[in-house]
Amino acid sequence: MKFTVEKISEENTWARAGVVETDHGKIQTPIFMPVGTLGSVKGVHQRELRDDIKAQIILGNTYHLYLRPGLDVLEKAGGLHRFNGWEKPILTDSGGFQVFSLSDNRKLTEEGCIFRSHIDGSKHIFTPENNVDTQRSIGADIIMALDECTPGTADKTYALKSLERTERWLDRGLKRFDETKDVTKERYGYNQTFFPIVQGCTYPDLRRRAAENVASKEREGYAIGGLAVGEPEDVMYDMIEVVNDVLPKDKPRYLMGVGTPWNILEAIDRGVDMFDCVMPTRNGRNGLIFTAEGTMNMRNSKWKEDFRPLDETSDCYVDQVYTRAYVRHLFTADELLAMQIASIHNLHFYLWLVGEARRRIIEGTFKSWKEDMCQRMRRRL
């Protein structure tokens, strides 16, 4: 994988525009990655992802794909790209967040994480080594290290203990990745890239230590994990600044699981390049629409006789073909089409937002535009 920084903002910001090059194509940054947990972005066809939403990369989840369809099926299919028909880049997270969220159904050891399937209760273990092997079988272009995602409210003693274990797991995962560097090329015909993850909870000294450690591994990109998990927004922004002050300036930085549209712009301001979050699809399925002018609850009676397009400023076909009154009708009638329309709209908006941020960075107008957008998008319409 190759990353080129095309433009660093000359304003009072760390924002930058770049290009990530993978064997499955180029990705213009800043970028948002729609979440396709089970190899599918819920309710959205690949054609819509490509042509209407204009997604450049999607995300899959190792925990869920490992359990079903399973590695045998994925290997026989020729990897996730061929299995789900997505020809552009894919990133997989390690499944660590999902495993650790199982709470009573998992146990952490030095070897790895023992857990029970949420599907049938069967017992499994993720180690740093077999997690690399699993992501080799899935075949994403970018894969993640196995780590522990500590809650934002964790005390410092536990946060330090967790970070130390994550660092030991990282060394083991990197060793396995390097030992198997030719496996994916021989199996599927392309290469993979391994991103370490910065943890450290909400403690600046731990975050700095973690960032310095992963930077010393000299990898092609780095992820920032363990944020937007209960801590206040301003604390999250502080941690991003601490980490990005340390991480290499010539490598992409991926903020995992974040977040609202304004979170994304604030993180871009602080030097983040890549994002993913379930919010646009999950909130969309529940009737919440994000726009440049604010958020709309489509179950609200105020839209009952509003026959304007869903989003008058958008060029996405669902925003022009369907009216607010019609989309409200679909939600109140529990029609499946409502969830599809809202998911497509929200994903299109997120991709438009990062694309516009990129354009503004290149033009030199990002900072003032970002401040205005963050205020407008927070409004309830």
Comparing CA positions, the residue from 270, 221, 216 lying closest to residue 243 is: 270
Query: Rounded distance, CA 249 to CA 158, Å?
Result: 30
Q: Long-range pairs for 123-128 at CB < 8 Å and ≥24 separation? A: 124/66, 124/67, 126/63, 126/94, 126/95, 126/96, 126/99, 127/172, 128/169, 128/170, 128/172, 128/173, 128/176
Active site residue 205: no
Could you tell me if 255 and 227 are in contact, meaning their C-beta atoms sit under 8 angstroms apart?
Answer: yes
Query: Rounded distance, CA 289 to CA 95, Å?
Result: 28
Query: Rounded distance, CA 294 to CA 378, Å?
Result: 6
Catalytic position from the list 141, 269, 276, 319 = 276
Q: Please provide residue 74's backbone torsions phi and psi, each rounded to the nearest 5 degrees.
A: -65, -40
Could you tell me if 89 and 57 are in contact, meaning their C-beta atoms sit under 8 angstroms apart?
Answer: yes
Catalytic position from the list 93, 147, 273, 311 = 93
Tell me how far CA of residue 212 lies from CA of 12, 94, 172, in angstroms.
Answer: 24, 21, 18
Could you tell me if 360 and 369 are in contact, meaning their C-beta atoms sit under 8 angstroms apart?
Answer: yes
What value does the CA radius of gyration of the chain take, rounded to a whole number of Å? 20
Active site residue 93: yes
Report which secondary-structure segment, H or E, holds 337: helix 336-363
DSSP secondary structure, 192-220, as one string: -EEE-EE--TT-HHHHHHHHHHHHTT--S
Tell me how far CA of residue 306 lies from CA of 1, 35, 101, 146, 326, in angstroms.
Answer: 48, 31, 41, 48, 9
Query: Rounded distance, CA 155 to CA 273, Å?
Result: 29
Query: Rounded distance, CA 340 to CA 290, Å?
Result: 14
Query: Rounded distance, CA 27 to CA 49, Å?
Result: 14
Query: Which pair of tokens denotes residue 105?
Result: 């159904």
Catalytic amino acids? 93, 276
